[in-house]
Amino acid sequence: MPARIDFQTEPSRYRHWKLKVSGSRADLILDVDENGGLFEGYQLKLNSYDLGVDIELADIVQRLRFEHPQIRVVVLQSGKDRVFCAGANIRMLAGATHAHKVNFCKFTNETRNTIEDASETSGQKYLCAIKGTAAGGGYEMALACDHIILADDGNSTVALPELPLLAVLPGTGGLTRVTDKRKVRRDLADAFCTMEEGVRGSRAVKWRLVDQSVPNSKFEAAITRAVQRLTNATARPAETTGIALTPLERTFEHGAIRYSSLDVDIDRSARRATLTIRGPVTAPPATTGDMQAQGASFWPLRLARELDDAILHLRANEPEIGTLVFKSIGESGRVAGHDAFLDANASHWLAGEIQHYWKRVLKRIDLTSRSLVAMIEPGSCFAGTLAEIAFACDRSFMFDGALKGDNRAPAALTLTASNFGSYPMSNGLSRLATRFIGEPESVETARAVVGTPLDASDCERLGLVTSAFDEIDWDDEVRIFLEERASFSSDGLTGMEANLRFAGPETMETKIFGRLTAWQNWIFQRPNAAGAEGALKRYGTGVKATFDPKRV
């Protein structure tokens, strides 16, 4: 395993994907380098993938939104003959740690969701054209797209064969997207998911597993027609110039990561990381042209990218860090000013993309299996978008008053319009609506104080923080909480936090991630899958797995 998994990449470093941009169409070709695995000990045969392949895909989807905003349709195809994608690499899964399998599947799900979000909110539609076998995660990749065309050539199939082949389940949303997104009938979905060989041609269309099945002689023409239909159906601006997503300013130190607007300090002995956000040092730009000229250095976009990278780093590379503490320093007025600028210009493609990106980063925080804690202290700037981070946390503590001998402003929290729907959670609700699921009137009470800096007593009265402590009690109360949190079972905390974060309606997203938690934390480590005689270990050896038949 490498010393550090890096989630940052750029086109010149791609080993597995080829991107061709022409006018309003982009062609995305999956052509996996067999010898380009993230770890040693396996080859990525048959266009199978590991986390490294998905890191590149996530980067491409992001760059299409920011660097190529003129793109209306993305056509996803294979660069190999007779195979589209064999899904997640089995040798990688069999040899990976349990933590890596879980983080791999979670990141892959988030990437699929980003594709769907690009279609829903940005008007960049995705078309998947399948020639050959699309199995497991390969078909799940197709399921994230708006339209699926399958070659009717006697060879091309779609399949979710995890149960019969590996004694596990599709870990990146396959079952949920088949039923909830494509509306496949339950009994047909049951039959489909127990067929190793998958489904071909007209039957795949009849069962709604794909949208079209056409012979090879008409395949390219069918793609062209589908691209035109999708192009006509989107309002994505055609004449738009993107911005370059330049490399992050990032330095790794012993026990710390330094970004331009974020510091991550890691205390491994306490199993805790503190993420300190620095607010903007200047006022928001005067015009959208000024914003576009700033490009990736524009504070809201710069911070979103840095925070996203930090969360992914902690997930993948610091598995023993159990608690993430969020702090901030800066002027709340400038944060609120940037919120107001983005809200006022939400119809501008770049402002809209930045807000959508913050939505995805905040969801990434929601879905991170760590205890999340906000510390609202003197000099902090938890306003608007940054206040969403506090609302995403499991607990929030606020300092009551000012510190003696400290000239920083007393702790305050400021709500903006962004806190009331700009950044929905996976359940489709705002974090405030989720927080006050049993008292919707509290949301309206909070809305009435938008723009007003709220002190500790205000925030306690309005239910916006968990607890407030004065200078006498602050250090002891915070220390006791953090020590107690570190003493609990990490597994128990993961289960509790995942259950409590998503009150309210169930959506396709909450189903996918809720089921992922159960499947990956149970089925993927059960002996029938991962034991010495299990299916993951014996796959490809010619020896059938030995299953314990007892139902649990």
Residue 258 sits in the same domain as residue 227 = no
Residue 362 sits in the same domain as residue 464 = yes
Element (H, E) at 321: none
CA distance 172 to 178: 12
Residue 445 sits in the same domain as residue 308 = yes
Residue 56 sits in the same domain as residue 172 = yes
On whether residue 502 sits in a domain, the answer given is no
SS3 324: strand
Task: Count how many domains the chain has.
Answer: 2
On whether residue 543 sits in a domain, the answer given is no
Residue 375 sits in the same domain as residue 410 = yes
CA distance 1 to 42: 12
- Token pair 């009470």 is at which residue? 445
Last residue of a domain, one of 494, 516, 542: 494
CB-based contacts of 477: which residues, under 8 Å, 6+ apart? 397, 467, 469
CA distance 370 to 217: 52
CA distance 437 to 431: 10
DSSP string computed for 37-48: -SSSS---GGG-
Q: Write out pLDDT tens, residues 410-427.
A: 999 999 999 999 999 999
Alpha carbon separation from 32 to 1, 47, 81, 486 (Å, rounded): 20, 5, 12, 41
Residue 46 sits in the same domain as residue 97 = yes
Inform me whether the pLDDT recorded for 104 exceeds 50.
yes
Last residue of a domain, one of 494, 514, 535: 494
Last residue of a domain, one of 467, 494, 521: 494
On whether residue 455 sits in a domain, the answer given is yes
On whether residue 108 sits in a domain, the answer given is yes
Inform me whether the pLDDT recorded for 27 exceeds 90.
yes
pLDDT-derived band at 227 (thresholds 50, 70, 90) equals: very high
pLDDT (mean) for 479-485: 97
Residue 121 sits in the same domain as residue 217 = yes
On whether residue 500 sits in a domain, the answer given is no
Residue 332 sits in the same domain as residue 365 = yes
Residue 376 sits in the same domain as residue 264 = yes
- Looking at 233-331, list the stretches that DSSP marks H as alpha helix, in order from N- to C-terminal side: 288-294, 299-317
| Res 521: pLDDT | 67
What CATH number is associated with residue 92?
3.90.226.10
Alpha carbon separation from 466 to 135, 266, 341, 391, 395 (Å, rounded): 46, 24, 30, 10, 6
| Res 236: pLDDT | 86
CB 304 within 8 A of CB 296: no
| Res 402: pLDDT | 85
pLDDT-derived band at 333 (thresholds 50, 70, 90) equals: very high
| Res 2: pLDDT | 54
CA distance 104 to 260: 27
On whether residue 21 sits in a domain, the answer given is yes
Inform me whether the pLDDT recorded for 552 exceeds 80.
no
Residue 63 sits in the same domain as residue 34 = yes
Q: Write out pLDDT tens, residues 234-264.
A: 988 877 899 999 999 999 999 999 999 999 9
The number of CA neighbours under 13 Å toward the Cβ of 6 is 11
Pick the closest to residue 128 from 207, 47, 28, 217 (CA basis). Answer: 28
Inform me whether the pLDDT recorded for 457 exceeds 50.
yes
| Res 1: pLDDT | 44
Tell me which amino acid residue 215 is.
Answer: P
On whether residue 503 sits in a domain, the answer given is no
The number of CA neighbours under 13 Å toward the Cβ of 273 is 26
| Res 519: pLDDT | 67
> In this structure, what DSSP letter does residue 179 have?
I
- Looking at 448-489, list the stretches that DSSP marks H as alpha helix, in order from N- to C-terminal side: 456-462, 474-487
Inform me whether the pLDDT recorded for 122 exceeds 50.
yes
Q: Which tops the pLDDT comparison, 540 or 497? A: 497
DSSP string computed for 128-150: EEE-SEEETHHHHHHHTSSEEEE
Inform me whether the pLDDT recorded for 406 exceeds 80.
yes
| Res 138: pLDDT | 97
- The β-bridge relationship of strands 25-30 and 17-22 is antiparallel
- Token pair 């993420």 is at which residue? 275
CB 399 within 8 A of CB 379: no
Pick the closest to residue 114 from 426, 370, 369 (CA basis). Answer: 426
CA distance 495 to 364: 17
Pick the closest to residue 410 from 373, 387, 446, 380 (CA basis). Answer: 380
Neighbours of 505 (CB within 10 A): 11
pLDDT-derived band at 405 (thresholds 50, 70, 90) equals: confident
Residue 289 sits in the same domain as residue 429 = yes
SS3 538: helix
On whether residue 394 sits in a domain, the answer given is yes
Inform me whether the pLDDT recorded for 219 exceeds 50.
yes
pTM of the model: 0.95
DSSP string computed for 507-520: -HHHHHHHHHHHHH
- Token pair 């990106």 is at which residue? 357
Inform me whether the pLDDT recorded for 78 exceeds 70.
yes
Report CA Rg, the chain: 24
Q: Can you read off the two tokens belonging to residue 289? A: 């042209």
Q: Write out pLDDT tens, residues 178-213.
A: 999 999 999 999 999 999 999 999 999 999 999 999
CA distance 156 to 205: 13
CA distance 175 to 450: 42
Residue 298 sits in the same domain as residue 217 = no
- Domain carrying residue 382: 251-494
How many DSSP H helices and E strands does the chain contain? 22, 19
